[in-house]
Amino acid sequence: MSRLVLIRHAETGMAGHYCGHSDPDLNDWGRAQLPHLVQQLSGDSFTAVYSSDLRRAQSTARAIAEDQSIPQVSRPALREIHFGEWEGLRWEQIEQLDPQYAQKWMAAYPLLPAPGGETYTAFEARVIAEIGQLVKNEPGPIAVVTHAGVLRIVLQRLCGFSEQDAWQQTRPHCCVMRYEAKGETT
């Protein structure tokens, strides 16, 4: 049995923007969230902290790793979905740039990618494969610092959450979820 503690990174200055593979670091509020997150995790003892290779996840993971004196390992497969031409934009900007495609995208979500972006199918396969590797290779307990979209896939596919519940659980920055793999295949 593997135990993973899944954590959304702290806040960046791009909160409210489509920030998939964009690489901002934490803003002042995000840095202020870290001591609270570390305190919240003080009852856990991890063997390692795995994170997306993007700065917002790495900075969050580093705080946990330093507090527990454990290794921090970057994993590119834990990145958020790539939003292509929409990277860095707010929804209102997307609607103004191409209202027809924006409407089409909303109607077909998650089947239609952002222009030049990663498909949801590829994103989901990448995330499930990566979590499967962590479960298989790490008896844990481990911390996994990643992004809201990654966490939503784990909650829906592996924990049986509805799409709505997964969205609600992953909205706050620094949210923490626990996942116990009991030998199931991913």
Catalytic residue flag (residue 124):
no
Cα separation of 45 and 153, whole Å?
Answer: 25
How distant, in Å, are the alpha carbons of 38, 69, 148, 171 from that of 43?
10, 14, 23, 23
List for the chain the helix, strand, coil content (%; round to 5). 45, 15, 40
Question: Annotated catalytic residue: which of 9, 17, 147, 173?
Answer: 9
Nearest in space to 129 (alpha carbons), one of 79, 163, 59: 79
Is residue 9 flagged as an active site residue? Answer: yes
Q: What residue has token string 């570390």?
A: 38
In terms of phi and psi (left: phi > 0; alpha: psi -120 to 50; beta: otherwise), the region of 72 is beta
| H/E stretch holding 181 | strand 176-181
Residue type present at position 76: P
CA nearest to 34, candidates 3, 2, 57, 5: 57
Check 80, 118, 124, 130 and give the catalytic one.
80
Which residues are designated catalytic?
9, 80
